[in-house]
Amino acid sequence: MVSKALLPVNGIDYLIIGAYLFITVFVGYSLKKYMKTGEDFFLSGRSLPTWITSLAFLSANLGALEIIGMAGNSAKYGIMTAHFYWIGAIPAMIFLGLFMMPFYYENRVKSVPEYLKLRYNNATHALNAVSFAIMTVLMSGISMYAMALLFKLMLGWSLTSSILLSASVVLVYIFWGGLSSSIYNEVIQFFLIWLGLLPVVLLGLKEVGGFQGFIERVPAEFLHSWKNLGSATQNPLGIEWVGVVLGLGFVLSFGYWTTDFLVVQRALASRSLNSARLTPIVASFPKMIIPILVIVPGLLVVALLPAFQPGAAGGAPDYNSAILLLMGRYLPNGILGLAVTALLASFMSGMAGNVTAFNTVWTYDIYGSYIAPGRSDQHYLTMGKAVTVVGVLFSILTAYIVQHFSNIMDYMQLVFSFFNAPLFATFLLGMFWKRATPAGGFWGLLSGILAAVAHYLLYKSGILPYSSDMGANFYQAWWAWLVDFVVTILVSLFTKRKSDQELKGLVYSLSSRSGRDASRRWFLRPEIWGSLSLLLVVILNVLFW
């Protein structure tokens, strides 16, 4: 079925879009000959330099989540969306680089769940592997839906037709080039996003009369990130500062950036431990300024379109279409094609990142551990390619779930609160408390997931009242983490722990850290760059108080 196209693309735009799609597939085909082993396909042979892995680390997250989700989020919640960056990302990225990457990299794990197998037991490993596999296809569905929405607006196609086209392109280049194909396309995508979306920001600011006009036309409550967090009723996010700090800044942030294999996998592709540690830290610097591309457009929509003003008649607007409406409003043909290409790149990156994480976890952590252990590397490589097809098919199904949410960021954080929030407690205790036992790890993780499910059911039934869906997500994440944390400790106090010898290299107090960066010049040390990044993010929070 074909409906009316809302983005006025023409032949020049289609030429630009077609050229990008050709390059994407060509990159995957060119890397096909290098995919000889499982490590080549799943981890790029651990051979990539820091600047490549850092941009890929950032771009793996710079998909539908940020482009459509964050723009819609800022149109709905205002500049408080910056908390997802300056509180909900940067500190956790620095923590990952300084403290957690050595555990992953030095133990040569192929996935994040594999660490749980070494630290706890098979039961904890299997539970996390299955829950993570479910999460990746749910997240991949978000990117696929966002990409299909773009095709629908651009071409007037039905949602189903758009989803099938999106899935086909991503499937081809991952199937041929594995993680390397995904990473190199993510680097291309990073630069395309800036080239394609920055004109939208500049032209929007020009229409509203510059920054002064911008401030005058955006509602006052949308322009403060911390000032109105004293009460949930005083801000559009509908939450107090405690919920932001504990739910987002601590649990959701650290749970995502330090345990989500989608992003950690990019750092594991680094050529050395120092490079792996620097990957998330270097990525934190451009991460700080991404709000220019996603938060400002959302606020411009509020300033320019009456339907997006708080309290406007007609019910809640479709926040997911915010940045697309600005593109159609400002960009001439040619530049519009570049912007559409940037969005396509980001959506394919988000989907590809989740699919490559899914095929790795399925192949090594589920299939290779419990279904067909001890097979040849070539066997697992073949399985990884086959399950890539399965992952894409599942993503097609989950894409239809997203259309029931007017703001995909609400849905995204809901998914994270189910899976990443309790997992972070399991990781935190496992890495920094050697008394945590295998039984404690399993029952803690299971209890945390069930606590999140119970909280969601209580919220939807009206028993737990919250001012907004996002506020409910933040508190759901906190309670899931807390239940996991407490249950893990309690069970561990009454069950048998592993010996120090078994935990060597898996717990911080039993890891060899001497001389880790002694051979590096001071300006190449992760601690220096991490401290600088943390200082800058504190300054940003003060400036936009």
- Cβ neighbours around 123 below 10 Å, total: 17
234's tokens:
């005083």
Q: Which CATH number fits domain 11-309+319-543: 3.40.50.620, 3.40.1010.10, 2.30.30.90, 1.20.1730.10?
A: 1.20.1730.10
**Residue 341 burial (10 A CB sphere; 0-12, 13-18, 19+):** buried
Over pLDDT 90: what percentage of the chain?
Answer: 12
Write the pLDDT tens digit of every residue in 158-206. Answer: 777 777 777 777 676 566 555 555 566 666 777 777 777 888 888 888 8
Write the pLDDT tens digit of every residue in 388-419. Answer: 788 788 878 887 887 777 667 778 788 888 98
**CA pair distance 349, 355, nearest whole angstrom:** 10
Tell which residue, 182, 144, 108, 111, has the closest CA to residue 423. Answer: 111
User: Above 80 in pLDDT, residue 307?
Assistant: no
Q: Residue 436's pLDDT band (boundaries 50, 70, 90)?
A: very high
**CA pair distance 289, 297, nearest whole angstrom:** 14
Does the pTM surpass 0.85? The reply is no
Write the pLDDT tens digit of every residue in 512-530. Answer: 654 455 445 766 788 888 8
User: Above 80 in pLDDT, residue 266?
Assistant: no
Task: Output b/e per residue, 305-335; b: 16+ Cβ within 10 A.
Answer: beebbeeeeeeebebbbbbbbbbbebbeeeb
**CA pair distance 70, 472, nearest whole angstrom:** 18
Q: Considering just the CA atoms, what is the radius of gyration of the chain in Å?
A: 22
- Quickly list H helices, 232-290: 241-243, 253-259, 261-268, 273-289
Task: Output b/e per residue, 404-441; b: 16+ Cβ within 10 A.
Answer: ebbbbbbbbbbbbbbbbbbbbbbbbbbbebbebbbbbb
Q: Which residue has the higher pLDDT, 516 or 360?
A: 360
Which residues lie across from 2 on neighbouring strands?
157
